[in-house]
Structure 1
């Protein structure tokens, strides 16, 4: 009796990603919640600080285990690190997991026969959600790095949120700016992400308007000569 051949590695990897993308997104929200508590809660808030640390490390270990499974199923070996650079990046910097929102959306679409939103609405909604999560993550990181730095202008979490909003919107008032090396590194990354997300939203909105105007022109009766 012949045995069925094992499925190819890319097919197995695709199935694994479809099954785990949503649970891992939920885990990333738990990671963000635990990290936010450690940054914002008073230092004497015990035992909650220890519990939040356990939550952060537990969810990161989930990301590590998922990365190991993806590495094995891909069949790429060490090349997986470079080929799937986004997976590698969000493993090293879990606060960047909102960048995987596109893959989360793809996993959701696999469970529905027809999309519930138009293409333009989907791009705008997921880019907006990614911007909110990235802005919140960057606010936490910069506040933690800057609040005790000499000469810092970001002393409160409110200052950090204001800075993140100005950076993501590409306004950049300059009244609040990081002064440390790592704070500026976070700022540079947020600037790049802000430009990409803003371009996705504005481009989709412009395309949607053009599509609406085109349909209106097609419905308009032809003018009589």
Structure 2
């Protein structure tokens, strides 16, 4: 095989040079669109927008969905091999069809802005905290909006304001469940199931992070104890 026939290197996740350039150009604009989508959707639900402005907000959110779908298709077409890229980017596909997952992109942007300069363990824990707690907070916010949108005008529902929806979401995700508010619609109850699962993940994340931090502290303390006797010998015999 000559050098001319050697295939170009590809990423383990199916990225090619073209997809990397595309992502470098579009990452921050798409992240800004994701943030703007959250703001518009929040305003639409909390303000209970109707009439002409409801059409405006719906058109904007649909346009954002088209942009994300186009971004996904471009990267898929330029990926090499496409099958590897497709399997490694299933979350990106879910974002196209499930808009409430779109704000997760903001967490990736936050990890890019945050500098992890200490140990590898600290870096991993910091990213786990950002993605774990950030995902739960976004989940609470998004599900509260979805529940308010579906429950506000439903017969027999008692979740009528965003404050009620947010309180219900926090109680549900923390598995407290006071029972003062409860969804009555099918969509609201499905949202409750998602929040319950998120609460279980949150508890596991907290336990894992604390355990990792404690293990690293114990290892550092053990290393210091092993070094201290040598230091004492050096101080006692400075000529050595």
- For normalisation by structure 2, the TM-score amounts to 0.73
Query: 2:37 — aligned with what?
Result: 31
Query: 1:62 — aligned with what?
Result: 67
In 1, the alpha carbon distance for the partners of 2:39 and 2:151 equals 20
Query: 2:179 — aligned with what?
Result: 174
Q: CA deviation at 1:100?
A: 4.6
Equivalent pair of 1:146/1:179 in contact (CA under 8 Å): yes
Query: 2:116 — aligned with what?
Result: 115
Equivalent pair of 1:30/1:59 in contact (CA under 8 Å): no
Answering whether residue 152 of structure 2 is matched by residue 151 of structure 1, we say: no
Bigger CA drift: 160-169 or 73-82? 73-82
Equivalent pair of 1:145/1:182 in contact (CA under 8 Å): yes
Q: CA deviation at 1:77?
A: 6.3
In 1, the alpha carbon distance for the partners of 2:126 and 2:82 equals 38
Equivalent pair of 2:38/2:103 in contact (CA under 8 Å): no
In 2, the alpha carbon distance for the partners of 1:163 and 1:124 equals 23
In 2, the alpha carbon distance for the partners of 1:131 and 1:26 equals 20
- For normalisation by structure 1, the TM-score amounts to 0.77
Equivalent pair of 2:45/2:145 in contact (CA under 8 Å): yes
CA RMSD of aligned residues (A): 3.4
2:133 counterpart (128, 139, 144): 128
Question: SS of the residue aligned with 1:213?
Answer: helix
Q: CA deviation at 1:184?
A: 1.4
Equivalent pair of 2:95/2:102 in contact (CA under 8 Å): yes
Q: Paired residues, what number?
A: 216
Whichever of the two has the greater Rg, that structure is 2
Matched ranges for 1:16-95 at <5 A? 16-43=22-49, 48-74=53-79, 84-95=89-100
In the TM superposition, what whole-angstrom CA distance separates every residue of 1:180-201 from its partner, at most 9, and x where no partner exists? 1111122222322332244223
Question: SS of the residue aligned with 2:16?
Answer: helix
In 1, the alpha carbon distance for the partners of 2:24 and 2:47 equals 35
Structure 1: segments with no counterpart, 5+ residues: none
Q: 1:76 to 1:188 in 2, by over 3 A?
A: farther
Q: 1:99 to 1:172 in 2, by over 3 A?
A: farther
Answering whether residue 204 of structure 2 is matched by residue 199 of structure 1, we say: yes
Equivalent pair of 2:141/2:166 in contact (CA under 8 Å): yes
In the TM superposition, what whole-angstrom CA distance separates every residue of 1:182-225 from its partner, at most 9, and x where no partner exists? 11122222322332244223311221122223323443467xxx
Q: CA deviation at 1:105?
A: 5.9
